[in-house]
Amino acid sequence: MEIGCSPAAFDPRDPGYLGSAEIAVRASAPGQASVAIVSPDGKTAREIGPVALERSLTALRWDGHDERGRIAASGKYGIRVRATGSDGLEEEMSAWVWVVEGTYARSSSLYMGVSGSALAPDARVLAPGGFELASTALFHVEGGESAPEGLGTVAAGARFGLSSNAELDLSCMGVLWSAEPLADSFVATAAAKVGLAGDPGEAFAAAAYAKINYARFLSSPSGGYAPSWDGHTRYSGVSVGLPLEIAVGRARAFVCPELQVSSFYPYWADQSTEWEVPGLFAWGYLRTGVEGSLGPLSLALSAAFRSRPFGSPFGLRLPLPLAAELRWHDADSPLVLQLFAAGEIRAPGSYYFGGGIGIGARY
């Protein structure tokens, strides 16, 4: 018999499936087993079973609660499995799992190409061997003067936990106009993020990431201006960021300064300003967000403030993107469902707003 537990550390306060651990029992013959969760002081906190071992691999879940339904205190818990085979032979094995407040296992939209909320990456890195899928469909529903007509975006991505406290994020986004084909406007993104500080249970966390985008736009450059779109889609270029976050209870706030280098024309919202284009430009973002969870639900709000391009007078520039995400995490599977809203203030009287849905899974 072999047993294992994944993840090695979890927080029962995390939403849905992410707030539990899977206990895998691999048996060489059919039989029955009982599972005891042993607290750090050696007492039995929870018993599971009897469990029929009819397959070579049997998977159970512990939600981090004791027999009375209370959340288990932080600490190292033993998982003791006693099995009796059909031949009457008995066997006992143990494994360990940590209950740690503040692991902050959240799903991610990967909407802006780096794990976190829609517009603000967080500082938490997926555990080695972890895997996540995310997808979002967002459609324009309302806008002011000069707002886009018939705009919709479809985004999908995957997130991979690597060794040495690092992760890889891959995503793509297609943009649909009512009169144009989807394939004429898309962007592909690859990002690598490395954790710098913040072990599970610590309130403060920091990370660093590098991201590269490749975009193709509907319209070709005209009038000497490079393609420009700072809204739903991203644009060709490279960026580096330093996400930081602080957590209190089930809520956290994060902020991420980001440096962007691109051929994107950063003065497109105010073309009365003289600027030699096309060319290579650099500017900064300040990406901010807050997130909280309650039971299977989590809510994230985020925004991205953009600076003037470097070489011009210091200051912030429109557009101002804003986003909100409400996620529901299934308690019995990795499934995550999402309601999504995003908009952008381009100038006084010029904005757009969109809403949509998302589906994903995190392992």
Beta-ladder partners of 361:
133, 335
Is residue 33 predicted with pLDDT exceeding 90?
Answer: no
3-state secondary structure of 353: strand
Structure tokens belonging to residue 358: 């998302």
Q: Are residues 194 and 55 in the same domain?
A: no
| Residue span of the structural domain in which 286 resides | 131-362
Check residue 41 and report its DSSP letter. T
Question: Is 295 a domain residue?
Answer: yes
What is the pTM for the complete model shown? 0.84
Q: Do 298 and 327 form a contact (C-beta atoms < 8 A)?
A: yes
pLDDT of residue 136: 92
pLDDT of residue 273: 53
- Check the CA dihedral 141-145-151-153 and report its sign: negative
Q: Are residues 252 and 349 in the same domain?
A: yes
Q: Are residues 137 and 85 in the same domain?
A: no
Question: Is 125 a domain residue?
Answer: no
pLDDT in tens, 67-124: 999 999 999 999 999 888 777 778 888 899 999 988 888 888 888 899 999 999 999 9
Average pLDDT of span 138-151: 63
CATH of the domain at 204: 2.40.160.40
Q: Are residues 34 and 164 in the same domain?
A: no
Read off the pLDDT band of 146 (50, 70, 90). Answer: low
Check residue 150 and report its DSSP letter. S
pLDDT of residue 226: 46
pLDDT in tens, 148-201: 555 678 899 999 999 778 999 999 988 776 655 555 678 899 999 999 998 878
Q: Are residues 95 and 160 in the same domain?
A: no
Question: Is 282 a domain residue?
Answer: yes
Distance, in Å, from the CA atom of 340 to the CA atom of 111, rounded to the nearest integer, reads: 11
Question: Is 109 a domain residue?
Answer: no
Q: Are residues 167 and 80 in the same domain?
A: no
Q: Are residues 74 and 138 in the same domain?
A: no
Is residue 222 predicted with pLDDT exceeding 60?
Answer: no
Of 99, 121, 153, the domain-final residue = 99
Of 79, 99, 119, the domain-final residue = 99
Give 321's Cβ-side CA count (13 Å radius): 25
Structure tokens belonging to residue 208: 């660093």
Structure tokens belonging to residue 149: 């007509």
Question: Is 126 a domain residue?
Answer: no
pLDDT of residue 122: 92
Count of Cβ atoms closer than 10 Å to residue 339 Cβ: 14
Q: Are residues 142 and 219 in the same domain?
A: yes
pLDDT of residue 242: 98
Q: Are residues 202 and 159 in the same domain?
A: yes
CA distances (Å), 244 to each of 15, 124, 172, 310, in order? 22, 9, 25, 23
Nearest to 208 by CA among 171, 151, 271, 258: 258
Of 80, 99, 118, the domain-final residue = 99
Read off the pLDDT band of 2 (50, 70, 90). Answer: confident
Question: Is 105 a domain residue?
Answer: no
Number of folded domains that form the chain: 2
Q: Which residues contact 128 (CB under 8 A, 6 or more apart)?
A: 161, 162, 163
How would DSSP label each residue in 247-275? EETTEEEEEEEEEEEESS-TTGGGTTS--
CATH of the domain at 26: 2.60.40.4070
pLDDT in tens, 284-328: 999 999 999 988 999 999 999 988 888 878 888 777 889 999 999
